[in-house]
Amino acid sequence: MSAAVTSDLDEITRLSRKLGADPSVVLHGGGNTSIKGRVLDVVGDEVDVVWVKGSGWDLGTITPEGFAPLRRDRLLRLLELDTLSDSAMVNELRQASLDAAAPTASIEALLHAFLPARVVLHSHADAIVALTNQPGGARAVEQALGRAVHVLPYIKPGFALARAVAGAGAALAATDALVLCHHGLFTFGDDPDAVLERHLQLIELASRAAGAREWGAPGPAVERAGDPVEVAALRSEVSRAAGRPVILVQSTSSRAMSYAARPDVAAVTARGPATPEHLIYTKRRPMVGRDVDAFVADHQRYVAEHRAGDQEIVEIDPAPRVVLDPQLGLLTVGRTARAAAVVHDIALHTMDIVEAADRAGGYLSLDEAGCFAMEYWELEQAKLRSATDLPEFTGEVAVVTGAASGIGRACAQRLLDLGAAVVGVDLDPAVVDSFDSPVWRGMVGDVAEAEVMRRAAEVAARDYGGVDILVIGAGIFPPGAPLARLDEVEWRRALSVNATAVAVAFRELHPYLALAPRGGRVVLVSTKNVAAPGPNVAAYSASKAAAAQTARVAALEWARDGIRVNHVEPDAVFDTSLWTADLLATRAASYGLTVEEYKTRNLLGIEVTSRMVAEAVAQLCSSAFVATTGAHITVDGGNDRLV
């Protein structure tokens, strides 16, 4: 790559990151940027190139690799056509690229190519949208930003928009800024920093006119209200409408709580999204209250009225993405926790845009037909048709006890790998930071205490929507001793952690498991000692046997609730905190074996690991075992006392 090309890419990357650093200017992948230059192609010909932000890249974090190098002359030729479908246009953009490995260029690429300026910056700034989303929006823009800014009515992004901008020729020649109603702002020029400064100045003017100094601020965090079981019940209904498990997050935003409590919230929020691009995440309007069936019926009416006759479309599921409830506040829905977080941010920014527009001429969004055209845009339909399957437990939530180390930690890791959100509980404070992930919550506490498990269930419900999976991994292995020298303190401690804690967890989490969209799943990490105890471990064997009996009763009682309860019975898993070097040496000696011989004393002669146990746990929770409950799966390499 030549020094000139590197300089161009470094420059547009720097500008893009500055523009994308402010979510009120560029929110979750919105906006796009470009820079023009000249390069030599493979045969040595000089080519005019426009580097356009790649689709799916975020301006706030973009790198030079995120820009697609396109032959500008080819794009300008496309604008001479009378019509071109957007899917055909995307195909042409790919063919115009000088690098087959580059990302597909933004849908706005033709517009960037047409504007003659070297640098073009585009954002969906809240302040600009607040000005345009009102009756007489074009006039509001002129009053706030001056007549030098050219204003166009809303046109769906793509070929039609690029043609409309190209048709504005003379008007654009006299300006360095363009506002698209319901869409956003373009600034352009040859001096990169001047273009950025102009962009931000216009947004500042729009903010002043809108009477807002900040956008999308959540306000102080508040304690989330309502019964967490009610949150789980709502998530169950939303998942049913979506046809799959979803993550549902109850917001801590005081701003959102007060907005949800507005007596006119249903009317205020029924008027459509701030920008049509938000539809892909949020749908046209929120669900107010908890009547999922009514929301679904209205969405089905909307689709039926606006689809073109027998037009073949991939219908988007009718479940809400934003919920505003006077008691529960704001709740956001996504297939993943990240998707729900994106919806949350968009919802907060939309609240400010709506209220700013209402302070002026009144908020006005696209009508239903315009929203449908964007929501069922052929490019979005293509994404739906080509969507790949997500991991097994995407949209589901697990609670794992004993999650700081050993088998419990391995189970948490495997469930995270398979797409689940996980709440881990352990006495060890290390549980808090066991995993660096937005779908991990580590809680410190004694699993034998009801309040600890009650709190774990509440965190799972409010942060992710409910509980689908419970893995009991917590346990202790008291010091070995014959019954003739029974230590009552150790006996009671073993019963508390290994048995009572299991019953407590079952009681506290049952209401949530019964609401799991795919049916609740429980796996007890048991032991071969239940069926084949060894000498000198009465406290451990008896307490684990009590836990196993408790799980068997749960399997009997909970089948009618659709909850599967199964056992994984490992043996000789030595990479856990239960097995210190001294204990391992003592147990090996009691069998007359070396430590290595003791580790592989099973029929297969292999060392059993925590990861092997975790894989068995995950499989029992998967759809592969949908018809299995009350099962006992050994993970021990084969034991001659059991076989």
Catalytic residue set: 540
Largest CA distance in the chain: 100
**Residue 289 identity (one-letter amino acid):** G
Report which DSSP code applies to 642: T
CA nearest to 414, candidates 634, 620, 611: 611
CA distance 160 to 251: 39
Angstrom distance (rounded) from CA 437 to CA 413: 11
SS3 541: helix
CA within 13 Å, CB half, 569: 23
CB 7 within 8 A of CB 49: no
- In angstroms, the CA 538 to CA 553 distance is 22
Joined tokens for residue 337 = 């926790």
Q: Which two tokens stand for residue 553?
A: 């009763």
**Rounded to the nearest 5 degrees, what angle is found at the Cα of 101, between the Cα atoms of 98 and 105?**
65
Place of tokens 């055209």: 373
289: Cβ contacts below 8 Å, ≥ 6 apart: 266, 324, 325, 326
CA 490 to chain centre: 44
Q: Running DSSP on this structure, what letter comes out for residue 480?
A: P
Query: CB–CB of 296/318 below 8 Å?
Result: yes
Q: What are phi and psi of 253, to 5 degrees?
A: -75, 125
Q: What is the four-CA torsion angle of 505, 511, 513, 514, rounded to 10 degrees?
A: 140
